[in-house]
Structure 1
Amino acid sequence: MKKAFKILIAAPLLVGGAAFADSALTVKKSGRAPEASLKVKSSLVPTFEVYQKKVVKGKTEVFKVKNIPALDIGEEREVQASDIGPLRLPASREVAVKPTRIKDSPALYIPQVPVYNAVVEPSKNLTSADAFKKIPDVKMLSPITEPATHEPKVELVKIDEMQPNDYKLLQAMIFLEMQKNYELAMGLFAELMEDPEHRIQALYNYALTAKGMGLNSEFRQYMLQVAQEAKNKDWQQKATEALVQHINVLETSDIALIDPLVIKYDLDITKNDDYQITRAKYYSEKGQLGLMEDALVFISDKSPRYPEALLLTGLFNYRQGKVDDAAIALERLMDATEGNKTLQLRSVGALTLARIQFQKSDYKAAFQSYLKVDKSNPLWLQAMVESAWTQILGEDYEGAAGNMFSLHTDFFKNAFSPESYVVRTVGYLNLCQYGDGAQVLNEMTKKYAPWKKKLDEYQAKNSSNMNYYDTVKSWIKNSDMKEVDGLPRSFIVELARHPAYMSVQKQINNYEDEVVRFNKVALNLIKMERDLIAKQNAANKDLMEAKKSLKGDAPSEAVVARIQKSEQKLLSYRIQTHIAKKARVSIKNLRTVGLARIDKEKNVLRAQASQALQVRFKDMAANLNRVLDQNEVLQYELYSGAGEHIRYQMAGGDINEKERPELKVQKEKSLNWKFKGEIWEDEVGHYRSSLKNVCAQENSVAGLGQ
């Protein structure tokens, strides 16, 4: 009993600790078979497992009883009531009452209460009179008037029912925003442009549809039209927001129209870096440097457009006369683009920084900046020539001669760089290597003297600047030609590599790509019609087969559902086919107008490109003439210096052994040459001449070639 009592007491404690985590708790009970155990359920009712011993093949085994038989306690006894007879009450009896004797009452007890002599302390002051004065007065609430009630006036208002064009607009918006089916959407918007009520909305959505199809000039044309024509301020604001969002497909000059609208509607453009860069470029071209600075200040160093902002900041500071600030901005540009050294922006920034450092006579820093111009950039050849002049002015004549020699090898046989021969000659002249200098001049005269006549003849025959564009165009179609319209191939290559022409030609190429996309719209609609007709025939066939499966007056639900689905598909394909046919017709007119506009804009761009080529042609021709004119001066310096040098040696003079600073790259990248050997592309700009300075005295003519 003692052990059992302990178990019953412990069970609730165990239940309270863990019964809610487990469905039943098993507690080992001492005194029973090893297999016996106690389970306490969540209801706190203990349950014992029952085991039974059986003799199997002479062995006694213990089995757990899973199904306990019901206890047979017999049947419940039945109680039956008997009939009610007459009521038999006991006979009455008389009670004898005895008189009660009253005893004398006890004496009254009066308790003795001691006198209260306790001393009471005086009362404490819990507050003061001033405290009551500090209690703010609570103003009485204003009386609340009873609300005035009025009888509701219910008026019938006419509901504007949707018209056919409203349904057409809804259908076009579904194609545009949900299905991205730009061809069908464009066809419907083209029809709605003829409706005055839906014209502005149709123009706006047509422009967005064109943007989705890559027709950027169509987007620009019609979205600007909405911004100018819309009398509704909401649509004008929406058009302005769309123009700001897609500023990268617009032209820089469009800022003149968009910026006033941005100010009018107080649009937040502080986080739109693309728009700020475009603003900065526009105001830079217009000379409004204050607005240019306002645009650049919003671009953070985390922005992808930050390198471009640094370049514009450098130009802004330079135009303000802040040369040191401009150099700092460009140096930060070099650090920001260190991970992408082939970036066009980096090469432009490096060349600009080098020229600023050259201007400040910091030749060592300028030389290193020139080397950062990427070799694949059109400005690289010019940068190499300018870096050689930097070495000349830094008295590193061996480096200047070595780098210019690398430009005169077969690797650059198609390059146009007459000035490089002048730099190389000046380098030999300062080293007193007069024989090598004279040989370089002979090479230059042999190569470029015939070009002077060809350039003069070309300019005389081609007075129109469009001829220059046609010449470059002819060469691009067949770049293997060594001469086009009398001009050498290398001259045309250098002419067409200039950024002033390439930027305009890039826009022309974009227009050409857009024409291809516009023509593809009609082809896509024709293909769509064919596909829809095929789907329509398939849906019609499926509908006929479904109707054949109808049997009796009560068809199955599956057959009815199949018929309904086939009918819906058939109706949908018929509607889409109808829209595709109408879209092909309606887009045809817009396509004609759009292609005419694109051709007109391409003609304007061709005129700009032709003008850029003509200006570049004149600069290159003037540079060639200047170099050839300096030939005689250099020859005189060479022969005069050679004579003095021979007389000095005959007199027994010594060679000047003065050490001079060298502007060169790291020692492991610097290469000496001895007129023979291979030239590697990644080593160009790192060569140095192995010829030594044999001059008797300092007689530098470094600035002769400039």
Structure 2
Amino acid sequence: MRRLLSMASVIAATLVLSLGTPSAQPRGDDDLEMEPEGGASTPGSKTFDRAIDLYRKKDYYSASIELKKVLDGETGDDDAHKQRADFYMGKTLYKMGYYAGALNYFEKISDAGAEHGYYSASLKWLAALSRVLPETSGILEKIGKYDPSALDEPIMDQVRDELYFLLGRHFYTKGELDKSIELFNRVNESSPFFMKAKFFEGVAYVRKYEGRPAGEAFKKILEIARERPPQYKADEIQRFEELAILQMARVFYSTQDFDKAIRYYEKLEQSSPEWTNSLFEASWAYFLKTNNPKALGNIHTLNAPYFEDQFFPESVLLKSVIYYKYCQYDRALEAVAEYDTKFRPLRKNLQDVVAKYEDNAEFYEYVKKIMANKAGLDEVTQRLVISVLGDKTLAKTFAWVDELDKELKALSASDKAWQTTAIAGEVNTELEVRKSLAQADAGKLAKERINRLIGELQLLGRDGIKIKIEVLNAKAGQISAAGKGERIGASHKEDPIIVDDEHFVWRFNGEYWKDELGYYRFKVRNQCPKN
């Protein structure tokens, strides 16, 4: 039951697994081109003026060469013009598709703070970069340097709601939940970022153990799903509706309102990527309601071959506990043996995978082979590792490496003359350094994810040993008083299996059918003594 004891941790983890970067499409760049008032009060050099003119003519390659001369001090321009050149270089590289290179310049500006003349104007470009770069690029951290009051400026009208959401995300990841909630609440309801903001608001409240406002936030998402406002795509609405349903179920589970939790778990359709999670978690709710025929039915579904790429080892031990409570000791021991047979060897295999390479960057390359099914792992271990590597946070870390690699390839395919310039050399070096660091980060995170699973399997293995000891003691007539209290009483009556006009009872014959999944029920005979 370890997975559901701390609902805040579960929901926070699921949130990370479920959401990527904001899905709003990049807007046109016209709203980004406004510059702050003031700036340089003296004329710039001819090189500087030529650079700005080339930018406006969309000759970005030539503009980058001239801007680099200004920044390298070759033109005698003062600091004010160099600051403007910083800003234009960031914009130029963005227009050229070198987003990581652009981030480098806007990072310099944001790190300089308000002393840089283009500090405020750069915030809009950081927002634009957040649409094309994964969070693991560090983009949220840079946006988080800005005070929310900066968004009150008229220049921020087009991106204000987006930036409220991004700032909220930043403070959420930092654990400053009250500040994140306040920012999420500023997002206008007509904004395409409103639904995402509501979701994070709900999860922030869950992390604060405040179930009522969390539920209200999730209910608002369900209301949006019914109304289907035009600012959202259909698949986006469906995704957040499913996530909100799952979180509602977990909120009610955490308050031990198992009936309502089950009601929400069962709202998810088989087509939902969250369906198997809902089945597993609902099996615990059914177990705690002593509706064990349904709990066992859900566990039976999870072991269908349709879900061989998903792993729920805890469900096997839950099955053992259920049989123990009915004094079916042989079947309880069979379930423990099933766990040992399936998962103990896999833990050793995972340890071997992690031990393959000590260096994180080398481990990243090894993980790439695993993901391409070229690492020589046995089929079951391969599937288990892939299930771990499906972690969305890890996927975003790998996406950052891919983005850097893509930009390096674009640079090598660019105009040969431009490749020999100082700015091309600078961009290439920056991309190579960032890629090296990103690969090491990705390898480190992949190791952590696999090690976490190893730890979970180790703890479950210990639980299995404890269950086995309890069962053997009970079988020998040495059951403790606490154990007797856990047994199903002789007066207990199972909930009846009600069959409506659209369904009929069909005895399971060893073959799974897709339309049967989720509908299995077990008849469990109580073998406990009456006294």
TM-score band by shorter chain is 0.7 to 0.9
RMSD of aligned alpha carbons = 4.1
Give the whole-Å Cα distance in 2 for the aligned partners of 1:328 and 1:698: 46
Matched, 1:674 2:505: no
- TM-score, normalised on structure 1? 0.56
Q: What's 2:102 paired with? A: 219
Q: What's 1:70 paired with? A: none
Give the whole-Å Cα distance in 2 for the aligned partners of 1:662 and 1:223: 65
Matched, 1:165 2:47: yes
2:445 to 604, 608, 612: 612
Q: Map of 1:284-299 to 2, 5 A cutoff?
A: 284-299=172-187
Contact 1:482 1:488 in 2 (8 A): yes
Matched, 1:304 2:186: no
Contact 2:124 2:159 in 1 (8 A): no
Q: What's 1:6 paired with? A: none
Name the stretch that deviates more: 347-356 or 306-315: 347-356
1:603 to 436, 447, 457: 436
2:254 to 351, 355, 359: 359
Q: What's 2:483 paired with? A: none
Which amino acid is 2:104 matched to?
Answer: Q
1:625 to 452, 458, 462: 458
Matched, 1:279 2:157: no
Give the whole-Å Cα distance in 1 for the aligned partners of 2:291 and 2:444: 40
Matched, 1:207 2:90: yes
- TM-score, normalised on structure 2? 0.73
Which amino acid is 1:498 matched to?
Answer: D
1:688 to 520, 525, 528: 520
Q: 1:282 to 1:593 in 2, by over 3 A?
A: same
Give the whole-Å Cα distance in 1 for the aligned partners of 2:496 and 2:458: 32
Q: Displacement, 1:431?
A: 5.0
Q: Map of 1:97-108 to 2, 5 A cutoff?
A: none
Q: Displacement, 1:163?
A: 7.0
Which amino acid is 1:365 matched to?
Answer: K
Q: Map of 1:563-602 to 2, 5 A cutoff?
A: 583=418, 585-586=420-421, 589-602=422-435
Helix, strand or coil: the match of 1:488?
helix
Contact 1:373 1:383 in 2 (8 A): yes
Identity %: 17
Q: Which string of whole-angstrom CA distances, capped at 9 and with x for unpartnered residues, describes residues 475-509 of structure 1?
A: 1233684439xx92122112202233223222222
Q: 1:234 to 1:340 in 2, by over 3 A?
A: same
Which amino acid is 2:383 matched to?
Answer: S
Give the whole-Å Cα distance in 2 for the aligned partners of 1:409 and 1:610: 32
Q: Displacement, 1:611?
A: 3.4
Q: 1:406 to 1:264 in 2, by over 3 A?
A: closer
Q: What's 1:410 paired with? A: 305
Which amino acid is 2:386 matched to?
Answer: V
2:57 to 175, 182, 188: 175
Give the whole-Å Cα distance in 2 for the aligned partners of 1:619 and 1:170: 52
Contact 1:385 1:404 in 2 (8 A): yes
Give the whole-Å Cα distance in 1 for the aligned partners of 2:461 and 2:44: 80
Give the whole-Å Cα distance in 2 for the aligned partners of 1:432 and 1:223: 66
Q: What's 2:381 paired with? A: 488
Q: Which string of whole-angstrom CA distances, capped at 9 and with x for unpartnered residues, describes residues 535-560 of structure 1?
A: xxxxxxxxxxxxxxxxxxxxxxxxxx
**Which is strand-richer, 1 or 2?**
1
Q: Which string of whole-angstrom CA distances, capped at 9 and with x for unpartnered residues, describes residues 95-121 of structure 1?
A: xxxxxxxxxxxxxxxxxxxxxxxxxxx
Q: Which string of whole-angstrom CA distances, capped at 9 and with x for unpartnered residues, describes residues 270-300 of structure 1?
A: 9622111111011223333443233122213
Contact 2:99 2:129 in 1 (8 A): no
Q: Map of 1:47-446 to 2, 5 A cutoff?
A: 164-165=46-47, 168-169=50-51, 171-176=53-58, 181-194=59-72, 195-197=75-77, 199-226=82-109, 235-244=118-127, 246-249=129-132, 251-259=139-147, 262=150, 268=156, 272-337=160-225, 340=235, 345-371=240-266, 381-431=276-326, 434-446=329-341
Contact 2:124 2:156 in 1 (8 A): no
Matched, 1:505 2:398: yes
Q: 1:246 to 1:490 in 2, by over 3 A?
A: closer
Q: 1:640 to 1:341 in 2, by over 3 A?
A: farther
Contact 1:398 1:427 in 2 (8 A): no
Q: 1:332 to 1:227 in 2, by over 3 A?
A: closer
Which amino acid is 1:687 matched to?
Answer: Y
Q: 1:584 to 1:165 in 2, by over 3 A?
A: same
Give the whole-Å Cα distance in 1 for the aligned partners of 2:210 and 2:179: 18
Give the whole-Å Cα distance in 2 for the aligned partners of 1:698 and 1:479: 58
Helix, strand or coil: the match of 2:186?
coil
Q: 1:387 to 1:613 in 2, by over 3 A?
A: farther
Contact 2:168 2:183 in 1 (8 A): yes
Q: 1:276 to 1:237 in 2, by over 3 A?
A: closer
Helix, strand or coil: the match of 1:599?
helix
Q: Which string of whole-angstrom CA distances, capped at 9 and with x for unpartnered residues, describes residues 601-631 of structure 1?
A: 2333334333333332233122222333333
Q: Displacement, 1:246?
A: 5.0
**Which is helix-richer, 1 or 2?**
2
Give the whole-Å Cα distance in 1 for the aligned partners of 2:290 and 2:349: 37
Contact 1:397 1:427 in 2 (8 A): yes
Q: Which string of whole-angstrom CA distances, capped at 9 and with x for unpartnered residues, describes residues 184-219 of structure 1?
A: 444444455443425444432332222223322222
Query: Which protein has the larger Cα radius of gyration, Structure 1 or Structure 2?
Result: 1
Which amino acid is 1:449 matched to?
Answer: R
Give the whole-Å Cα distance in 1 for the aligned partners of 2:197 and 2:504: 35
- The structure showing larger relative contact order (alpha-carbon pairs under 8 Å, at least 6 residues apart) is 2
Contact 2:404 2:431 in 1 (8 A): yes
Contact 1:269 1:275 in 2 (8 A): no
Q: Displacement, 1:397?
A: 1.0
Q: Gaps (5+ residues) in structure 2? A: 1-41, 134-138, 227-233, 478-488
Q: 1:340 to 1:667 in 2, by over 3 A?
A: farther
Give the whole-Å Cα distance in 2 for the aligned partners of 1:667 and 1:440: 35
Give the whole-Å Cα distance in 2 for the aligned partners of 1:698 and 1:514: 73
Which amino acid is 2:183 matched to?
Answer: A
Contact 1:399 1:664 in 2 (8 A): no
Q: Which string of whole-angstrom CA distances, capped at 9 and with x for unpartnered residues, describes residues 19-45 of structure 1?
A: xxxxxxxxxxxxxxxxxxxxxxxxxxx
Give the whole-Å Cα distance in 2 for the aligned partners of 1:459 and 1:336: 44
Q: Gaps (5+ residues) in structure 1? A: 1-159, 527-580, 645-654, 700-706
Helix, strand or coil: the match of 2:145?
helix
Q: 1:358 to 1:491 in 2, by over 3 A?
A: same
Q: 1:672 to 1:658 in 2, by over 3 A?
A: farther
Contact 1:391 1:397 in 2 (8 A): yes
Q: Which string of whole-angstrom CA distances, capped at 9 and with x for unpartnered residues, describes residues 539-582 of structure 1?
A: xxxxxxxxxxxxxxxxxxxxxxxxxxxxxxxxxxxxxxxxxx5x
Helix, strand or coil: the match of 2:520?
strand
Helix, strand or coil: the match of 2:147?
helix
**Count of matched residue positions in the alignment of Structure 1 and Structure 2:** 462
Contact 1:341 1:374 in 2 (8 A): no
Which amino acid is 1:165 matched to?
Answer: T
Which amino acid is 2:47 matched to?
Answer: N
Contact 1:271 1:298 in 2 (8 A): no
Q: Displacement, 1:584?
A: 5.1
